[in-house]
């Protein structure tokens, strides 16, 4: 028994060691590109093109950040990205919560098929509809407007919204709505005043994921937006280049500035995000 216990103990220790080694390697592989981009943003142009490249910056400088913040088009692009991502998130939450509530609470035939079709939209190749959408948007005159980016963003972000919220609404007891209706609340009032507040972790998680998706979107914005007054940061960042040279330092600095708000937001609300993603995963 003692030999078996010792063997089991060694096996457990080895498994734990392998787990932590894997975890460290995974973190390093995930974080290294971000750290390297940050390093590119704070070195001089001469050091940027050194071969072999330096691991740590020899002469840190904020010149690249000065370049991007002095560019009016980049400042406007930050505002544009915030508007596009914010409006997309609000629309997806409004329609997605209503659709998810109906799917979770109503009994109807082919519910599973409906959910499968909704999910299929997320896997549909966006590039396949670029040309038809461009023709339609040009006909109705919304090219170079926020709407040209918001509409396709909503279409591809809405399935994610619905799928996440359906899981939350299914976990909420139906008796709560019945009690609210007995007290005189309508279905809409019960949904707005009882269900949505209780599903706050799921709503919050969905809002963050939708915002990040719209903030990072490039394909539709690059195709439908040509004016500096409407282009988001994902389209403006590659513009820090000329016919002959590319300002990699400015591009790296812009990438850091665009990424940092998302990282800060996730770090601040990480507990809500985790609770939102795991709620409904385990049956009580």
Cβ 99 vs Cβ 164: under 8 Å:
no
Same domain, 79 and 211: yes
DSSP for residue 191: I
Residue 200 in domain: yes
Same domain, 35 and 144: no
Would you state the pLDDT for residue 282? 47
Same domain, 219 and 94: yes
- Count of domains for the chain: 2
Same domain, 207 and 79: yes
Same domain, 41 and 94: no
Residue 175 in domain: yes
Would you state the pLDDT for residue 276? 58
**Which residues are bridge partners to 246 per DSSP?**
241
Tokens of 131: 């040309």
> Which domain range does residue 131 map to?
72-239
Same domain, 223 and 88: yes
- Kindly tell me if the per-residue pLDDT of 283 is higher than 60: no
Cβ 201 vs Cβ 276: under 8 Å:
yes
pTM, two decimal places: 0.81
CATH number of the domain bearing residue 226: 1.10.3720.10
Same domain, 139 and 81: yes
pLDDT tens digits, residue range 166-199? 878 877 777 777 777 777 777 777 777 777 777 7
Same domain, 26 and 81: no
Spatial distance between the Cα atoms of 259 and 212, rounded to a whole number of angstroms: 10
| Last residue within a domain, chosen from 224, 239, 254 | 239
Same domain, 153 and 227: yes
Would you state the pLDDT for residue 246? 78
Spatial distance between the Cα atoms of 101 and 84, rounded to a whole number of angstroms: 25
Same domain, 150 and 215: yes
Percent of the chain with pLDDT over 70: 89
Same domain, 200 and 90: yes
Would you state the pLDDT for residue 150? 93
Tokens of 284: 């009580």
pLDDT tens digits, residue range 105-122? 777 777 778 888 888 887
- Kindly tell me if the per-residue pLDDT of 3 is higher than 60: no
| Closest listed residue to residue 88, CA positions, set 168, 147, 162 | 147
Confidence of residue 33 (pLDDT cuts 50, 70, 90): confident
**Which residues are bridge partners to 241 per DSSP?**
246
Would you state the pLDDT for residue 273? 66
- Kindly tell me if the per-residue pLDDT of 226 is higher than 80: yes
Q: Report the range out of 37-51, 70-84, 182-196 with the highest average pLDDT.
A: 70-84
Same domain, 88 and 182: yes
């Amino acid at each position: 028994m003692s030999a078996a216990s010792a063997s089991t103990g060694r096996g457990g220790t080895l498994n734990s060691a392998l787990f932590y080694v894997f975890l460290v390697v995974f973190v390093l592989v995930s974080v290294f590109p971000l750290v390297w981009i940050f390093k590119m943003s704070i070195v001089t142009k001469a050091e940027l093109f050194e071969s072999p490249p330096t691991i740590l910056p020899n002469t840190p400088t904020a010149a690249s950040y000065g370049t991007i913040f002095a560019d009016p088009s980049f400042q406007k692009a930050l505002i544009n990205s915030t508007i596009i991502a914010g409006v997309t998130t609000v629309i997806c939450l409004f329609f997605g919560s209503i659709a998810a509530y109906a799917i979770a609470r109503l009994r109807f035939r082919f519910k599973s098929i409906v959910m499968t079709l909704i999910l299929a939209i997320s896997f549909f190749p966006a590039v396949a509809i670029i040309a038809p959408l461009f023709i339609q948007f040009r006909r109705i005159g919304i090219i170079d407007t926020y709407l040209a980016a918001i509409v396709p963003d909503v279409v591809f972000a809405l399935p994610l919204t619905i799928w996440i919220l359906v899981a939350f609404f299914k976990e909420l007891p139906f008796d709560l709505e019945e009690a609210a209706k007995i007290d005189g609340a309508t279905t809409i009032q019960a949904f707005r005043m009882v269900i949505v507040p209780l599903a706050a972790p799921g709503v919050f998680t969905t809002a963050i994921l939708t915002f990040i998706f719209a903030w990072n979107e490039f394909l539709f914005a690059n195709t439908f937006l040509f004016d500096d007054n409407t282009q988001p940061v994902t389209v403006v960042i590659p513009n820090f280049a000329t016919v002959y040279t590319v300002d990699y330092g400015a591009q790296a600095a812009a990438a850091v500035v665009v990424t940092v708000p998302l990282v800060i937001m996730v770090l601040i609300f990480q507990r809500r995000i985790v609770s939102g993603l795991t709620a409904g995963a385990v049956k009580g």
